[in-house]
Structure 1
Amino acid sequence: MEVISGKVAKAKKAALYGPEGIGKSSMASQFPRPVFIDTEGSTTELDVNRLPKPSSWEMLKQQVQWVKQQGSRFGTLIIDTIDWAEMLCVESVCATHNKKGVEDFGYGKGYIFVAEEFGRFLNLLSDVVESGIHVVLTAHSQITKFEQPDEMGAYDRYSLKLGQKTGSRTAALVKEWVDMLLFINYKTFSVAADDKGSKHKAQGGLRTVYATHHPAWDAKNRHGLPDEFPLDYGYISHIFSGSTQPVNPSSASAQTTQVPVSQPPQQQQQHAEPAQATVSELNPNIPQSLRDLMVQHKVTEADIQIVVGKKGYYPQDTPITNYATDFINGVLVGAWPQVHQMIKDFKASLPF
């Protein structure tokens, strides 16, 4: 057995949360060589590198995998925001099980399915961290009622805006997963009353980062940060400025810088360009979640129709726009890796 002593320089896992418009994305943009996956389209005013807004849970996962394959091209992957990513997760789980909402499962099973799928997503982000890339999650905050089991009464506190129902487990998963959970809020210096003492107004408004746990909010860090400090990246830059190494350097050296799209064999290269030309002319009425995946993987409408027809779901000549919405979301988008593999297998069997 090998004993490793001292600190290990590796990429970090952090989460920034607070009310809307306080500057979470702006602060995240100062991390080393950031690339954003903008799940809610809120970074349009920032001069940053970003991937297209994911229209499905599957597209989001593939974007994360692509960033991992870029090696040292990016230093930080930012999911902005993780609560909007959670909505994609819930939609995917409901579509896969043909449910209209997470409450339709009954007995809290929907929240269990969501937590399991969300946990697999965090494992995927852990792979990104192990490749030497920091991961930063931004999230909105919410005020929840909290009651300690050993004390009388309850009080309000700020927490991650994840899984607002009591049966949800995603917020706890994120808090356990990150190394650093920073709460950003406007600091109230005092509360002033009018002459009659009946009306009270808060005074102050300095944007402040809270780095340690408090009864009124969730926060943590493992780097000896002060309890609070101004919203300035300089206070935490030393944590992320050091060099990081992949956990398995040999595997990192084998990574490619191309989008993870399967390439046809050499004898099929002559057919790649016509297929791409057809993809560019996809029916604009195809749902965006499916259309984005088709464009990303150079899949044509005919490719989808063939495998759907072979499985007996719809006649082969049925246009994709005539497919049921539940079938598109639950089968084609929800099980896209399997659908794409069927398309590749079919093309590989064709005589050229």
Structure 2
Amino acid sequence: MQVISGKIEKAKKVVLYGPEGIGKSSLAAQFPNPIFIDTEGSTTELDVNRLPKPSSWTMLQQQVEWVKHQGGLYKTLIIDTVDWAEMLCTEFVCAEHNKKGVEDFGYGNGYVYVKEELGRFLNKLSDLIEVGINVVLTAHSQIVKFEQPDEMGSYDRYQLKLGKKTSSQTAPLVKEWADMVLFINYKTYSVAVDDKAKNKKHKGQGGVRTVFATHHPAWDAKNRHGLPDEFPLDYGQIAHIFNNQAQTQPVVPPQTTTQTAPVQEQPVSQSIAPPPQEPVTQPVTNNATSLDPSIPQSLRDLMSQNGVSEEEIQVVVSQKGYYPMGTPIANYDPGFVNGVLVGAWVQVFGMVQDFRKNLPFN
């Protein structure tokens, strides 16, 4: 057995959360050489590198794989925000099981499936840590009633906004996964009483944006780097944590092609059988405008991202007997599009590649 002593410098897993508009994205943009996956399209005013807004869970996972294989070109991947990513995850789980909503599973099973799928996604993000890429998840906060078992009464506290019901499952999962959970909020320095009001209303005074780095009854936070309990919203307060990574992190040699590893999805009830092959992914450029705009966006983005034509989709679909050749993709049933073509995109793209190999000029 080999004994390993001392600190091991690795990339960091960071969660930044707080109310909307407080500066989470701006703080994340100051991390080393970042690239954004903007799930909600809110970084348009930031001068940053970003990938197209993912329109499906499958597309989001392909983008993560693409960043992983860029050979150290980027040092930080930022998913802004993880609560919007969770909505894509929920849509995928529902489509996979042919359900209209997560409540349709019954007995809370839908939330369990969402937790398991999100857990697999966090494992995929951990793979980026192993190749030296920091991962930052931004999230909105929500105020919930909290009651400790050994205390009388309940009180309000801030938590990750990952859904009212799923917060008991996915929020703890994200917090456990992270090395650092930082809560950002406006610090109230005093509370004044409005004597003119009929019921003497209390008003908070002060509004300095503050980062809270340790756990408190009123919010979730943690860090493993000896940060102070609170400090101003300034990247310089945490920059030292990332300054020593360049010499200690491994660098992955860049690939000669832009291929990404296939996204492993769970079997779909209408599964397409051929074995998965690696989809060619170029998420930095988006040629979806060359496709029929009436095609659902989640499918159109995957087709554009992987260079798949409408005719190739029609051929694959007709070969499996779902729709006759020539049926416009816009006329496909939405459940079929989301549950089969998008949900099992890796298998679909594998069939497209097989079709290309059998063309006469190949």
Query: Do these two structures clear the TM 0.5 threshold for a shared fold by scoring above it?
Result: yes
Tell me which amino acid in the other structure corresponds to 1:181: V
3-state SS of the aligned residue for 2:144? Answer: strand
The answer to whether the 8 Å contact 1:9/1:244 transfers is no
Task: Report the Cα distance in structure 2 between the residues aligned to 1:114 and 1:261, rounded to whole angstroms.
Answer: 23
Map of 1:177 onto structure 2: 177
Distance 1:245 1:128, change over 3 A: farther
Counterparts of residues 265-344 of structure 1 (less than 5 Å) = 281-344=290-353
2:206 maps to 1:204: yes
Map of 2:187 onto structure 1: 187
Deviation, 1:346, is 2.3
Task: Report the Cα distance in structure 2 between the residues aligned to 1:40 and 1:99, rounded to whole angstroms.
Answer: 24
Task: Report the Cα distance in structure 2 between the residues aligned to 1:51 and 1:198, rounded to whole angstroms.
Answer: 50
Map of 2:226 onto structure 1: 224
Map of 1:162 onto structure 2: 162
Deviation, 1:128, is 1.0
3-state SS of the aligned residue for 2:14? Answer: strand
Map of 1:275 onto structure 2: none
Distance 1:186 1:257, change over 3 A: farther
Map of 1:85 onto structure 2: 85
Task: Report the Cα distance in structure 1 between the residues aligned to 2:181 and 2:257, rounded to whole angstroms.
Answer: 31
Deviation, 1:253, is 2.8
3-state SS of the aligned residue for 2:173? Answer: helix
Q: Deviations over 1:49-77 (max 9, x none)?
A: 11111111111110110000112111100
Task: Report the Cα distance in structure 2 between the residues aligned to 1:87 and 1:286, rounded to whole angstroms.
Answer: 21
RMSD (Å) for aligned C-alpha atoms: 2.0
Task: Report the Cα distance in structure 2 between the residues aligned to 1:279 and 1:59, rounded to whole angstroms.
Answer: 13
Map of 2:98 onto structure 1: 98
3-state SS of the aligned residue for 1:202? Answer: strand
Distance 1:345 1:245, change over 3 A: farther
Q: Deviations over 1:264-292 (max 9, x none)?
A: xxxxxxxxxxxxxx986321111111011
The answer to whether the 8 Å contact 1:10/1:244 transfers is no
Q: Deviations over 1:133-167 (max 9, x none)?
A: 00000000000111112222111100000132157
3-state SS of the aligned residue for 1:343? Answer: helix
Tell me which amino acid in the other structure corresponds to 2:232: P
Map of 2:13 onto structure 1: 13
Deviation, 1:348, is 1.9
The answer to whether the 8 Å contact 2:288/2:300 transfers is no
Q: Deviations over 1:177-217 (max 9, x none)?
A: 00000000000001011336812111110000000000000
3-state SS of the aligned residue for 1:71? Answer: coil
Q: Deviations over 1:294-327 (max 9, x none)?
A: 0111111111111111111111221111100111
The answer to whether the 8 Å contact 1:70/1:256 transfers is no
Tell me which amino acid in the other structure corresponds to 1:57: W
Distance 1:279 1:111, change over 3 A: closer
Distance 1:189 1:245, change over 3 A: same
Task: Report the Cα distance in structure 2 between the residues aligned to 1:246 and 1:334, rounded to whole angstroms.
Answer: 38
Tell me which amino acid in the other structure corresponds to 2:315: I
Residues matched between the structures, number: 335
The answer to whether the 8 Å contact 1:15/1:139 transfers is yes
The answer to whether the 8 Å contact 2:160/2:167 transfers is no
Counterparts of residues 22-171 of structure 1 (less than 5 Å) = 22-165=22-165, 169-171=169-171
3-state SS of the aligned residue for 1:253? Answer: coil
Task: Report the Cα distance in structure 2 between the residues aligned to 1:279 and 1:227, rounded to whole angstroms.
Answer: 47
Tell me which amino acid in the other structure corresponds to 1:336: W
The answer to whether the 8 Å contact 2:11/2:249 transfers is no
Deviation, 1:351, is 3.6
3-state SS of the aligned residue for 1:208? Answer: strand
3-state SS of the aligned residue for 2:120? Answer: helix
Distance 1:224 1:136, change over 3 A: same
Tell me which amino acid in the other structure corresponds to 2:76: T
Map of 2:258 onto structure 1: 258
Task: Report the Cα distance in structure 2 between the residues aligned to 1:39 and 1:211, rounded to whole angstroms.
Answer: 25
The answer to whether the 8 Å contact 1:108/1:167 transfers is no
Identity %: 72
The answer to whether the 8 Å contact 2:111/2:166 transfers is no
Gaps of 5+ in 1: 263-277
3-state SS of the aligned residue for 1:191? Answer: strand
Bigger shift: residues 143-152 or 131-140:
143-152
Tell me which amino acid in the other structure corresponds to 1:243: Q
Deviation, 1:255, is 4.1
Task: Report the Cα distance in structure 1 between the residues aligned to 2:147 and 2:223, rounded to whole angstroms.
Answer: 24
3-state SS of the aligned residue for 2:72? Answer: helix
Distance 1:256 1:178, change over 3 A: farther
Q: Deviations over 1:98-134 (max 9, x none)?
A: 1111001001110111111111110110111111100
Distance 1:78 1:279, change over 3 A: closer
Q: Deviations over 1:8-67 (max 9, x none)?
A: 111000000000000000000000001000011111011111111111111111011000
Task: Report the Cα distance in structure 1 between the residues aligned to 2:183 and 2:298, rounded to whole angstroms.
Answer: 32
Deviation, 1:258, is 2.4
Distance 1:23 1:281, change over 3 A: closer
